[in-house]
Amino acid sequence: MPGLAAALGLIALATLLIFRTPRAAVPPPKAEETPIPTHNPSPSPTPLRVGIVSGHWKYDGGAMCPDGTREVDINYQIAIEVVNLLKQEGYEVDLLAEFDPLLQGYEADALVSLHADSCIPGVSGFKAARAWNSFIPEEEDRLLACLYQEYERATGLQPHQWSITPDMHGYHVFGEVAPATPAVIIEMGFMADDAELLRHRQEIVAQGIVSGIECFLERSKTR
Ligand SMILES: [Zn+2]
């Protein structure tokens, strides 16, 4: 009965194959997904950090007027107001000296160095600048645009662009802070013709600076 033998042979072969077939891999138990804790649905975000350099502070007097008024004192009085206003708004703020050791590799969401211009009579206005060789020119130009817009709006001073010097673009602080820290310098006005504003309406000056910084940071947050 060759037919039966052949059939038996096939069955034997099939049985062998069945037993030699590797066991189907057992799917691993489905990993339990770790639920993200929801007991704190709106954790307060890390506060933004702002550095304010009080121009010439702890270094020299800066520009000086014939009556003895020193730039360093005007800068400092305004810097203190700026720092207080920013803290009230919930920012982390560092008040920095002109050559502050903290400036080396300083990391922040924005840094503004506050200066006032010479005491030459007959000139009025403000100006701000960033580094020529900025690593983040678009960010810093945005900070500058915000400062120009808000500072002019608050103080009524006009930009005095043509007097921006190479010194401003090559300001030493730009080479000290971390490359990703948007950093600019502002000359808040001339110490002679803008004396009324710089000496007696410092809260307005400070508000203009703060509004400029906030304009920049608000847009950063929503990008
Ligand atoms: Zn200065």
Average pLDDT of the residues in 120-135? 96
Cα(120) to ligand 1 centroid in Å equals: 14
Q: Output phi, psi for 174, to 5 deg.
A: -60, -30
Average pLDDT of the segment spanning 149-159: 98
Architecture of domain 49-221: 3-Layer(aba) Sandwich (3.40)
Angle value at C-alpha 154, between 215 and 216, nearest 5 degrees: 10
Cα 215 to ligand 1 centroid, rounded to whole Å: 24
For 33-81, what is each residue's pLDDT tens digit?
Answer: 555 555 555 566 789 999 999 999 999 999 999 999 999 999 999 999 9
How close is the Cα of 57 to the center of ligand 1, in Å? Answer: 10
Residue 195 CA to residue 69 CA, distance in Å, equals 10
Q: What distance in Å separates the CA atoms of residue 204 and residue 210, rounded to the nearest whole number?
A: 10
61 CA to centre of ligand 1 in angstroms: 8
The better pLDDT of the pair 222, 164 is held by 164
For residue 189, how far is its CA from the centre of ligand 1 (angstroms)?
A: 11
> How far is the centre of ligand 1, averaged over its atoms, from the C-alpha of 15 (Å)?
94
Contact assessment for residue 110 and residue 50, using Cβ atoms and an 8 Å cutoff: yes
Domain regions of the chain by residue span: 49-221
Distance 136 CA to ligand 1 centre (A): 24
Element (H, E) at 221: helix 202-222
Instruction: Note the pLDDT of residue 139.
Output: 98
**Structure confidence at residue 214 as a pLDDT band (50, 70, 90):** very high
